[in-house]
Amino acid sequence: MSVSRRWTVADLDEIEPVEGERYEVIDGELFVVKQPSWEHQNVCVSLGGLLERWSHESGRGVATAAPGVIFSFDSGVAPDLAWISRERLRGNRDRAGHFTIAPELVVELLSPGLANERRDREAKLALYSREAVEEYWIVDWQQQTIDVYRRTGDALELAQRLSGDAVLTTPLLPGFSVPIARIWPPVL
């Protein structure tokens, strides 16, 4: 009989880091992710810059890339992007500077592979839903789509799928608006 290991956030400190790998634990399951591609990171910089600009102009919160978010002893993740209000950020960090409360907005960019897609579309969707994230954007830079999930009661529900010349807006960030074609990596 095989017994699978149940990982904790504390176990991550014991892993000898491998260059180009990131580690996350969701509900006791360890996820090892390879360093993303240039295109993936380009979209992160583009969208993150737009969120940061809105944050600076509004003064309402902070946009950040790959923040550590520790939800519990067995769930700690590093989303590609997050936006957190000043109210939530105040006093909700551990000694290492990780968030200990859900950001209002979490953004994940899909990496190639079924395991990566399952992690973002299933495991992380369930985690963020349970942990009171208000909006979750799944960005597929290869298909040039954005799935926007919004909180409805106790769960995150798919509110819209954006593609083509659609404009990304959100009631969470009043006045934030960007044509999604603006965030895709340049064709070289």
CATH number of this structure's domain 36-182, picked from the four choices 3.90.1570.10, 3.40.50.10130, 3.40.190.10, 3.40.50.850? 3.90.1570.10
**Global pTM?**
0.91
Cβ neighbours around 95 below 10 Å, total: 5
**Residue position matching structure tokens 């593609």:** 163
**Residue position matching structure tokens 């006045």:** 175
Per-residue pLDDT of the chain in tens (188 residues, 90 and over written 9): 556 889 999 998 888 888 888 888 999 999 988 888 899 999 999 999 999 999 999 999 999 998 899 999 999 999 999 999 999 999 899 998 999 999 999 999 998 889 999 999 999 999 999 999 999 999 999 999 999 999 999 999 999 999 999 999 999 999 999 999 999 998 87
pLDDT of residue 2: 58
Spatial strand order in the sheet of 21-26: 29-34, 21-26, 75-77, 69-72
By C-alpha distance, which of 111, 156, 114 is closest to 135?
A: 156
**Beta strands 135-140; 105-109: pairing state:** parallel
CA distance 62 to 132: 18
φ and ψ of 132, to 5 deg? 70, 25
Contact 184, 144 (CB under 8 A): yes
Contact 181, 165 (CB under 8 A): yes
pLDDT of residue 34: 84
